[in-house]
Amino acid sequence: MKDFFKSLLASIIGCSIVLGIFALIIFVVVAAISFDSSGGYSLKENTVLTIKLNGILKDKVLQTNPLMDLLGEQDNETGLDDILSSIKKAKENDKIKGIYIKAEIFSASYASLKEIRDALLDFKESGKFIVAYGDTYLQGCYYLASVADKIIINPEGNLDLHGISSSHMFLKGLLDKLGIEIQVFKVGTFKSAVEPFMLDHMSDANRQQVTSYINDIWGTLTSEISSSRNISVEELNRITDSMPLLSKTDTYISNRLVDTLMYESDVKKYLTQLSGLDDVKKLNTADIDDITSVAFLNPDKSNNVVAVLYAQGDIQSGTEKTDINDVRYVKEIEKLKDNDKVKAVVFRVNSSGGSAYASEQIWKAISDLKEKKPVVVSMGDMAASGGYYISCNATKIFAEPNTLTGSIGIFGMFPNFGNLTNKVGLTYDNVKTNKFADFGQVTRPMREDEKAIMQGYIEKGYDLFLTRCSEGRGIPKDSLDKIAQGRVWTGNQALKLGLVDSLGGIKDAVAEAAKLADLKDYKVNSFPQKSNFFETLLLNQKEELATRALKEYLGKDYELFTKLKQIREQDFVQARLPFDFEIR
C-alpha cells in the first residue's frame, strides 16, 4: 500500500509539471498574440528619435523571435526599411524634435550605411537637430555619425579610423591535410569564389580587383566625411595612418573628428536643451521599434501600389523561407504580376549569388513581370554574380556607390573524399552498365573525359549568363565579356561601365518606378510578408537548437563543416562571390 501511494504521488507530481508547462506555453502564446494586437506606440510631444547602432542590419527583417520580443529582449537584427521609414516619419512629425544616434557595435556594410546617411541628410532639411554619441566609434558607425550636427564622444572613449581591408580565408592547406580534394571548374579570370579551395593565397587577378574596389569604397567614405566635417581627404588619410583608435580623446577634437567630450549621463541634458525644454523629465525618447508602429501623418490612400520585393541572402533552389529560394520567389513575382493594384515593382536585391539554375528561374520570372509592368532594381550591399543575374533584365537598375556588383562568371565544384576515406580504412568498388554511370562519384577523382564534359557545361552556363546580361543591358556580348570574367565592380565603376543606370537607394528606385508607371499618387507596400507568430517560433527554435548542438560538438571545426555542407548540398553550378568575403 505504501508503494502504491508513492507511485500515485509521483504520478500526480508528474502530471502537475506537464500541465504547468502546457499552461505556460498557452500563456506565452496568448500573451504574445495579445501583445501583437495591442496597438501601436503612442507618440508624445517633445520626443527625440533614438537610433541605436547595434546588432545586425538587414534590408528587411522577415522573422523575429516572438518570445524574446515578449520578454523585452532584442533579437539583434534591425531592418533598413524600418530605419529609413522612421527617419522619414521623424522629418514630417512636429512631435519629434530631433534624432539621437547612439553608436555601439553595428554590423552593416557601407552601401547600407550610405543609404541611412543620405536619409539623415534629407532629414536635416527640416531644420531639426541630429546628435551622435559613442563610447567607441567603430569606422562604419563614425562614417554614419559624421553627418550629425554635433558629434560627442565619452572622455575615455575611442574612435576607430583604420581604412579598408578585404580578408579571405583559404582552405586548401587544411583540406590537403584531411585528404579532401575539391575539383574546380570555372569561367572568368577574376572568378575568385573557388580560390579558397585551389590556392593558399590570392591570385594576381583577384588582388587587382579587390585593390580596385576597396580603394573606390574608401574614396567614397573619405569624401563624404570630408564634406561633413570640413576636413580634407588628404588630412583624413593622414589621421587614419596615425591610428586614432589608440590616441587620446583630446586629439579627436583637435583633428575635428568630434565636437565635444561628454559622459552619456549628460547627453540627455544636452538633448533637452536642444529641444527647447528646461527639464529632462519633459523630454521623451522613442526607438526604431516605437516609431515603426506610428502611422505616417499623411498616408497615401491611393489604390495604386508600388511594390518593393526584398531579396536578400543566398540564391538557392527550393521553397524555404530563408534566403532567396527560386520556387518561393517565382511565386511572389507571379503574384505581383497578376495583382492589378500593383502598377510597378522595385526589386531590392542584396545577394552575393548562389545557384546558377535558381538564378535563371528568377531571371525568367522578372522578365515576364517586366513585360506587364515596370521593374526597377535597387541594389543593396551587393548584387553580384547570381545577384546580378537576377537583376540584369530590369527596366532600370539603381546601385549605391559602394554596392558590389558584376562578377559575371560561373563555377562548379566536386569534392573528392577518396584520400580521406583511404586514411580511415574505407575502400569502394562498383560495377556499371555505361561509361558515365558513376559520374559525380565523390570517392574518386574525375577522369579527364569527365572533366572535359564538366568544363564544357560550365562554359555553356557562362555563355547563357553573358547572353542574359547582354540582352538586358543592351551591351554587345563581346564587349560585355571584357568587363565580365567574374570581376567585381563597385556601383561607381558599374555606372561608368553601363552595368547599372543610376546611383541611389530604395527611395530613388521607388520614385523611378512610379515615374515609369506614370503614377501621380501611389502607396508603397513591401513583400514578402513577415512570417506569422507560429511559423517564426517553430523555425527559430529548430534552427537555434540545431546550430547550438553542432557548434558544441564540432567546436572550431564547425566553420569547415558548414563550408563542406554547402558544397555537398548546393547545386554544383554556382554564380556567387567568394565564400569568405569580409571588408573591414
How does DSSP assign 405-462, residue by residue? EE---EEEEEEE-HHHHHHTT-------SSTTTTTT-TTSPPPHHHHHHHHHHHHHHH
- Name the catalytic one among 166, 192, 275, 385: 385
- Taking the C-alpha atoms of residue 268 and residue 275, their distance in angstroms, rounded to an integer, is 10
pLDDT for the residue numbered 319: 84
Nine-digit cell string for 80: 533598413
Q: 229-278: per-residue pLDDT in tens?
A: 999 999 999 999 999 988 889 999 999 999 999 999 999 999 999 999 99
Q: Tell me the β-bridge partners of 306.
A: 344, 524
Residue 580 has pLDDT above 50, yes or no: no
Q: 455-464: per-residue pLDDT in tens?
A: 999 999 999 9
Q: 75-122: per-residue pLDDT in tens?
A: 589 999 999 999 999 999 999 999 999 999 999 999 999 999 999 999
Pick the CATH number of 47-162+243-292 from 3.40.50.150, 3.90.226.10, 3.40.640.10, 3.40.1160.10: 3.90.226.10
Q: Give the CA distances from residue 145 to residues 377, 446, 558, in Å, rounded to whole numbers and listed in that order.
A: 28, 54, 36
pLDDT for the residue numbered 424: 86
pLDDT for the residue numbered 581: 45
Residue 498 has pLDDT above 60, yes or no: yes
- Name the catalytic one among 191, 373, 396, 507: 191
For domain 305-583, give the CATH number: 3.90.226.10
Choice between 583 and 212, residue whose per-residue pLDDT is larger: 212
Same fold, 47-162+243-292 and 305-583: yes
Q: Where are the domains of the chain?
A: 47-162+243-292, 305-583
Contact residues for 324 (Cβ-Cβ < 8 A; gap 6+): 311, 312, 313, 314, 315, 316, 351, 354, 358, 362, 390
Q: 59-82: per-residue pLDDT in tens?
A: 999 866 555 555 455 558 999 999
pLDDT for the residue numbered 191: 82
As a whole number, the mean pLDDT across the chain is 87
Among this protein's residues, is 88 annotated catalytic?
no
Among this protein's residues, is 114 annotated catalytic?
no
What residue type is 286 in one-letter code? A
